Amino acid sequence: MGKENDILESFKELKNSSPYRVPEGYFDTLQDRIEATIKHDSLSNRAKIFQFVKPWMSLAAGFLFIIIIYVTFIPEKTDIQIATNSTELYNDSFENLDIMAAQLSEYDLAAYLSENDIDNAYGEPIIENDISDLTAEDIEELILF
Amino acid sequence: MADSGIADKEIIQKFKTLNNKEEVFSLLVAKYQERLYWHIRKMVVSHDDTDDILQNSFLKVWKALENFKGDSSFYTWIYRIATNETFTFLKIRDRQKSFFLNDEEGSVINRLKSDHSFDGDELQLRLQKFILLLPAKQRLVFNMKYFDEMKYEEMAKITDNSVGALKASYHHAVKKIRAMFNNESV
Domain annotation covers residue B139: no
Is B160 a residue whose pLDDT tops 60? yes
Mean pLDDT to the nearest integer, B48-57: 95
Portion of chain A with pLDDT greater than 70, in percent: 48
Interface test mutation site (partner A, options B53, B113, B124, B144, max chain A beta carbons within 10 A): B124
CATH, residue B27? 1.10.1740.10
Q: Domain of B20?
A: 1-100
CA B43 → CA A27, B40, B141, distances in Å? 19, 5, 11
The residue among A74, A102, A135 that closes a domain is: A74
Q: Domain of A104?
A: 79-144
| Partner residue opposite B147 with nearest CB, options A7, A15, A41 | A15
**Total count of domains within chain A:** 2
The whole-number pLDDT of residue A98 equals: 64
The residue among A51, A74, A97 that closes a domain is: A74
User: Same structural domain for residues A112 and A88?
Assistant: yes
CB distance A116 to A142 below 8 Å:
no
Q: Which residue has the higher pLDDT, B83 or B21?
A: B83
Domain annotation covers residue A20: no
Domain annotation covers residue A100: yes
Question: Would you tell me which residues 38-67 of chain A have a C-beta closer than 8 angstroms to some C-beta of chain B?
Answer: 38, 41
The whole-number pLDDT of residue B40 equals: 95
> What is the ipTM for the molecules in this complex?
0.79
Domain annotation covers residue B42: yes
Domain annotation covers residue B19: yes
Q: Encode pLDDT of A47-99 as tens digits.
A: 777 777 888 888 899 999 999 988 888 766 655 555 556 566 656 655 666 66
Domain annotation covers residue B47: yes
Quick check: B59 and A38 CB within 8 A? yes
Is B157 a residue whose pLDDT tops 50? yes
Residue B66 DSSP one-character state: G
User: Same structural domain for residues A90 and A134?
Assistant: yes
Domain annotation covers residue B148: no
Q: Which residue has the higher pLDDT, B184 or B44?
A: B44
Q: What is the 3-state secondary structure (H, E, C) of chain A?
A: CHHHHHHHHHCHHHHCCCCECCCCCHHHHHHHHHHHHHHHHHHHHHHHHHHHHHHHHHHHHHHHHHHHHHHHHCCCCCHHHHHHHHHHHHHHHHHHHHHHHHCCCHHHHHHHHHHCCCECCCCCECCHHHHCCCCHHHHHHHHHC
User: Same structural domain for residues A139 and A91?
Assistant: yes
Gyration radius (Cα) of chain A, Å: 51
Domain annotation covers residue B30: yes
The whole-number pLDDT of residue B122 equals: 78
Domain annotation covers residue B22: yes
User: Same structural domain for residues A65 and A85?
Assistant: no
Half-sphere exposure of A132 toward its Cβ, with a 13 Å CA cutoff?
Answer: 2
**Total count of domains within chain B:** 1
Arithmetic mean of pLDDT over chain A:
73
Domain annotation covers residue B134: no
CB distance A4 to B178 below 8 Å:
yes
User: Same structural domain for residues A84 and A124?
Assistant: yes
Domain annotation covers residue A10: no
User: Same structural domain for residues A88 and A108?
Assistant: yes
Mean pLDDT to the nearest integer, B33-61: 93
Portion of chain A with pLDDT greater than 90, in percent: 13
The whole-number pLDDT of residue B161 equals: 93
User: Same structural domain for residues A97 and A65?
Assistant: no
Q: Work out the pLDDT band at B1, boundaries 50, 70, 90.
A: very low
Q: Which residue has the higher pLDDT, B80 or B71?
A: B80
Q: What is the pTM of this model?
A: 0.65
CB distance B130 to B181 below 8 Å:
yes
The residue among A59, A74, A89 that closes a domain is: A74
Question: Distance between CA B186 and CA B179 in Å, rounded?
Answer: 11
CA A95 → CA A87, A113, A143, distances in Å? 12, 21, 15
Q: For the ranges A37-46, B133-142, B146-155, which has the lowest average pLDDT?
A: A37-46
The whole-number pLDDT of residue A53 equals: 81
Query: What residues of chain B lie within 8 A of the CB of A30, using their CB?
Result: 29, 33, 54
Q: Work out the pLDDT band at A1, boundaries 50, 70, 90.
A: very low
Is A130 a residue whose pLDDT tops 80? no
Domain annotation covers residue A8: no
Interface test mutation site (partner A, options B21, B169, B178, max chain A beta carbons within 10 A): B178
∠ CA B152-B153-B158, nearest 5°, is 90
The whole-number pLDDT of residue A88 equals: 63
